[in-house]
Structure 1
Amino acid sequence: MTEIKRETITMKDLPDSDRPYEKCRASGPESLSDAELLAVVLRSGTKGRTALELAQKLLGRKGEENGLTAVVRLPFPELIRTPGIGPVKAVQLQCIGELARRIAKASAKKGLELSTPGAIAQYFMEDLRHLKQEEMVVAMFDTKSHLIRETVISRGTVNASLVTPREVFLEAMRQEAVYVVLLHNHPSGDPMPSREDIRLTKRMQEAGDLLEIPMLDHIIIGDNCYLSFKERGYI
């Protein structure tokens, strides 16, 4: 059976109502679907496939969830293995994802009062839940529960021998923080604390009390879930 070769179709071959650029200009960006927004970023497709079709293929990857979130979080080597996605498009996708994350976080931080474990966990959730290795963050707060600064103090295995009170509280003193909260992720997705997590928490709590900069909580981030030592009564 003779294979029918598909003619190359460009976005210009589509009706104006189906072109993302024209649709955006006419009705605004909120009128575009996820695939159409992605097509605008990609700008061009590949032989036999428009930018819109390429975007739809990316969003329909088998085994991927959350649509746009999954696409922009794909590692660079995996992105460029997708037909039609070269190094330039891969970098564009990664930068768009990072830009969106920073904009969302900056908007959330402005005037934000992080006074509950749930609010703190939600603020840091997208930063930590997708990481492939453990990362520990110390969040520093003022008297009004406003976040002053956040600092990564450990990457890799988080344990009491590698993370020292000096690292945690030296920066807190520089920032004149009133109290701190520790956060770290479990790449497994399960936020239940290990014995090492409990040991580390106790050590940091004792150091904070001594320095009069209390550590009010230690929050472990899992896969879209969290565990608060304070809520569980561990501290």
Structure 2
Amino acid sequence: MKKLNINQWAEEDRPREKMMALGAQGLSDAELLAILIGSGNTEESAVDLMKHVLADCNNNLNTLGKMTIHDLMQYNGIGEAKAITILAACELGKRRQMEKPEERPDLGTATKIYNHMHPVLQDCDVEEFWILLMNQNHRLIKKLRISHGGITEVSVDIRIIMREAVLANATILAVCHNHPSGNLRPSEQDNQLTYALQQACNLMRIHLMDHVILTDGAYFSYHETGRI
């Protein structure tokens, strides 16, 4: 029976397409390694070749990581470049195990938001609008500048904010921007934006925690003043 090239497989069985559909956790070790090497040999697809290699390692990735470049090059279809790629991936996996989890700051109050964002915004001479995406424990997932504006105002697209929140799987959202003038009083545009953003968050079941306006040395919080 003639061997099928991976490109001739059903789309849902191809490693790259399968990863796009199911995520990395949906692939076997051989399929993940096949993505790295890209191709097999005249008798084996990349997946079958890596199944062969793993079988010789008792299907143990630690054993695979102890192989040498020379060991891997004994397999038909694995040259120096592929062998180096496989061992580099094994080394990255080892280093990841030794890494400490990233410390995510707690931004559960306006004061914490101010302390976190003040170093970012204190020297800005124009308004910048930032979003702070958090998990349910108020731990920061991601912060992102949404807009860079003028001296007295900044344009913000709520659709972009909500898209970023959904993509980050955030359950809590806070927003902040600076007033280079030093005036903490929110503008009518600030009020309208906050109201519209709260409506969008309610629709998406994301908690809008606060809108904080910063100056160099002080802040205004919509939450602390009862306006959210």
TM interval, short-chain normalised: 0.5 to 0.7
Q: Which residue of 1 aligns with 2:111?
A: 118
What does residue range 123-138 of structure 1 map to in structure 2 within 5 Å? 123-138=116-131
Q: Secondary structure at the match of 2:220?
A: strand
Deviation at 1:216, TM superposition (A): 1.3
Deviation at 1:213, TM superposition (A): 1.1
Q: Which residue of 1 aligns with 2:178?
A: 185
Structure 2: 5+ residue stretches without partners: 1-101
Deviation at 1:110, TM superposition (A): 2.7
Residue-by-residue CA offset, 1:90-141 (whole Å, 9 max, x unaligned):
xxxxxxxxxxxxxxxxxxx834322111111111011112100000000000
**Aligned mates of 1:191, 1:140 — CA distance in 2:** 23
Residue-by-residue CA offset, 1:153-175 (whole Å, 9 max, x unaligned):
1110445xx31221101011000
Verify: 1:165 aligned to 2:158, yes or no: yes
Identical positions, percent: 32
Q: Which amino acid counterpart does residue 131 of structure 1 have in structure 2?
A: C
Contact 2:106 2:138 in 1 (8 A): yes
Q: Which amino acid counterpart does residue 199 of structure 1 have in structure 2?
A: Q
Q: Which residue of 1 aligns with 2:227?
A: 234
Verify: 1:215 aligned to 2:199, yes or no: no
Q: Which amino acid counterpart does residue 148 of structure 2 have in structure 1?
A: R
RMSD across aligned positions (CA): 1.4
User: Which one has a bigger Cα radius of gyration?
Assistant: 2
**Aligned mates of 2:160, 2:217 — CA distance in 1:** 28
**Aligned mates of 1:194, 1:126 — CA distance in 2:** 23
What does residue range 1-235 of structure 1 map to in structure 2 within 5 Å? 110-157=103-150, 158-159=153-154, 162-235=155-228
Q: Secondary structure at the match of 1:230?
A: coil
Contact 1:129 1:189 in 2 (8 A): no
**Aligned mates of 1:166, 1:156 — CA distance in 2:** 18
Deviation at 1:221, TM superposition (A): 0.4
Contact 1:190 1:223 in 2 (8 A): no
Contact 1:140 1:180 in 2 (8 A): yes
Q: Tell me how many residue pairs correspond in the alignment.
A: 125
Deviation at 1:214, TM superposition (A): 2.1
TM-score with structure 2 length normalisation? 0.53
